[in-house]
Amino acid sequence: MIAYDTSGKSYSLTETNLGGGEGKLYAVDNNPELYAKIFKSEKRTKGREAKILEWEKMLTENDLNQNFCRQIVVPQKCLYAQTTSQNTQTFVGYLMEKQTSFRTLKNTYLAKDFDYMQKVWTARNLCILTNRVHSLEREIIIGDYNADNIAIFPSTSTAKFIDVDSFQLVINRNGRRILCPCTVGVPEFMAPEISRRLKKEKSDLEHVDQGPDDPIFNKYTDLYSMAYHVFALLMNGSSPFASMPNMEELSQHPSRNVSSIDIDQFHAAEKGEFVFARHYIFKKAPNYAPKYGILSRKLQKLFERAFIDGAKDSTARPDSLEFYDALTEYLDSLEDRKCGHYMPSNYTGACEWCRINNLKY
């Protein structure tokens, strides 16, 4: 297909087998460093177009610093297709920098070729990435902080946001602030106050009533998602709210049925039931996660603020710099044991990774 940018420059595009729920990626002929993301027809909304044009404007006016652009794959040019009348153009997508040789964050959680030290390093880089977004002098929120939207480059363990068109922006038009919302999200990674609000308003992310002063996503919902991903990286892919029935306790209460134990992660997240830090009757942390005690006390306190205190008060959640500092100290504490696994030097128990590797499912 042929697409045009706002200046009228044409691009010849060739469809690839890459893409997702919103559209497909196209190769850009004669420019191997670029991809074009072409949205499905129902996704080519005025709101999405306004958001892409705002990204293009920020790039053109140098509102985005080099560090930001190194870690966020910013939409570069808004793309249009010529209509049959030849006099009007229809918004279809945008140009973006092509990324290669990466794995998604989701595939990094349990990657066997990534040792524990690399995963801690990756978690630290995730904090840097989050801070890049929040420290910019623009109202930019990640929103859909999805583990599939984050590229991890194995050679350096660095992180990049690759699907930025979903970010939430606030733009100024003639002195008026206008919200360009994030309308997608994965429930597993979203802060519990989001699901509570959607239930209360009997709505969804596409249709919830929101504005620039009352958006569904904000800095604190981003910090929840960041903490979730950091936890998953450090705890063998476990959700902070994963749990399993505690058979030892259940055996002492024969009237209880295993199937009646509520281990729903979404309910637990809304109630702040963080089983790794507090005891909940008939429930315990999953066996595939390492013991919570392998984490430094500083990290434990941060996770408890993120998942227990933060369930009631979102502002209690630690920011990216607090996590970065705690992860840096934790990284320095890791030592290579004789078994070949990294564990904190002050942890006196047996190697948790050997225990997990010997689990029989």
Which residues are paired to 103 by β-bridges? 152
pLDDT at 88: 75
| Mean pLDDT over each residue of the chain, to the nearest integer | 91
Which residues are paired to 150 by β-bridges? 161
The token pair at 180 is 């360009």
CATH number at residue 15: 3.30.200
DSSP secondary structure string for all residues of 135-159:
TSSS-EE-----TTSEEEETTTTEE
Residue 246 has pLDDT above 60, yes or no: no
Same domain, 153 and 79: no
Residue 157 has pLDDT above 80, yes or no: yes
pLDDT tens sequence across 287-301: 999 999 999 999 999
d(CA 241, CA 272): 8
pLDDT at 65: 87
What is this structure's pTM?
0.93
Q: Residue 122: is it exposed, middle or buried by C-beta count within 10 angstroms (0-12/13-18/19+)?
A: buried
Q: Residue 299: is it exposed, middle or buried by C-beta count within 10 angstroms (0-12/13-18/19+)?
A: buried
HSE-CB at 172 with a 13 A cutoff on CA atoms is 5
pLDDT tens sequence across 42-78: 999 998 999 999 999 999 998 888 889 989 999 999 9
Same domain, 232 and 156: yes
- What's the whole-number mean pLDDT along residues 324-344? 97
Residue 21: pLDDT band with limits 50, 70, 90? confident
- Alpha carbon 320 to its chain centroid, in Å, reads 13
Highest mean pLDDT among 158-167, 260-269, 322-331: 322-331
The token pair at 294 is 């392998």
pLDDT tens sequence across 100-147: 999 999 999 999 999 999 999 999 999 999 999 999 888 999 999 999
For residue 165, the enclosing domain spans 103-357
Same domain, 10 and 145: no
pLDDT at 85: 61
Q: Residue 159: is it exposed, middle or buried by C-beta count within 10 angstroms (0-12/13-18/19+)?
A: buried
- What's the whole-number mean pLDDT along residues 154-171? 92
**Domain count within the chain:** 2
Could you say which of 76, 97, 118 is where a domain stops?
97
Same domain, 171 and 26: no
Residue 256: pLDDT band with limits 50, 70, 90? low
Q: Which residues contact 282 (CB under 8 A, 6 or more apart)?
A: 245, 246, 249, 250, 253, 256, 261
